Amino acid sequence: MGIEEYLKDRVDAQINWYDSKSLDCQKKYKRIQLWEIIFAAIIPLLSGYVTKSSAIPFVIGSLGVVITILESVTKLYKFHENWIQYRSTCELLKFQKHLFVTGSAPYNNMPESMENLFVRNIEQIISSENNQWKTINARMNTEGKCT
């Protein structure tokens, strides 16, 4: 297997897989979070009408149950954690691929050209921003805040 074939069959395939899985987890996580917010916002509204209908306490309780189930599903399948991890891995693979394809350090055996140095610096900036994003999102998740 040559390097071009490896890049296409292995590296690009992995980048595409992680990108796809990251997007899928992000969509699922955000969709569930949106429904939790909507249901949680309805509860206080309905509680003002508890004396008007005997069905409202049942509806309020049901919404609480649904919120609990949605949050449990999110935790069980780790949509948020997987979204962040898959995105980080995808970006790291892209970073290494770009360094290799352009012959930038550490994938060169000669002094770096101005172009190689430029690519390496740009990739480091992008990688640094991705790491900051991962750290912020991981911290927000442990604090119980929605991202």
pLDDT greater at residue 72 or residue 110: 72
Dist CA 33 CA 26 (whole Å): 10
The gap between the terminal CA atoms of the chain, to the nearest Å, is 42
What are the residues whose beta carbons fall under 8 Å from the beta carbon of 40, sequence distance 6 or more?
Answer: 63, 67
pLDDT confidence tier of residue 143, bands split at 50, 70 and 90? low
For the chain, domain boundaries: 3-142
User: DSSP 3-state assignment of 3?
Assistant: helix
Give the pLDDT score at 140.
66
User: Tell me: the pLDDT tens digits for 27-53?
Assistant: 999 999 999 999 999 999 999 999 999
pTM (2 d.p.): 0.78
pLDDT confidence tier of residue 147, bands split at 50, 70 and 90? very low
Give the pLDDT score at 28.
97
User: Tell me: the pLDDT tens digits for 80-126?
Assistant: 999 999 998 898 899 899 888 888 888 888 887 878 788 878 888 88
Give the pLDDT score at 144.
57
Among 144, 120, 146, 28, which Cα is nearest to 82's? Answer: 28
The encoded tokens of residue 96 equal 């290494």
Instruction: Report the greatest alpha carbon distance in the chain.
Output: 80
Residue 133 CA, distance from chain mean position: 10
* Residues found in the chain: 147
In the predicted model, is pLDDT for residue 5 greater than 80?
yes
Dist CA 83 CA 8 (whole Å): 24
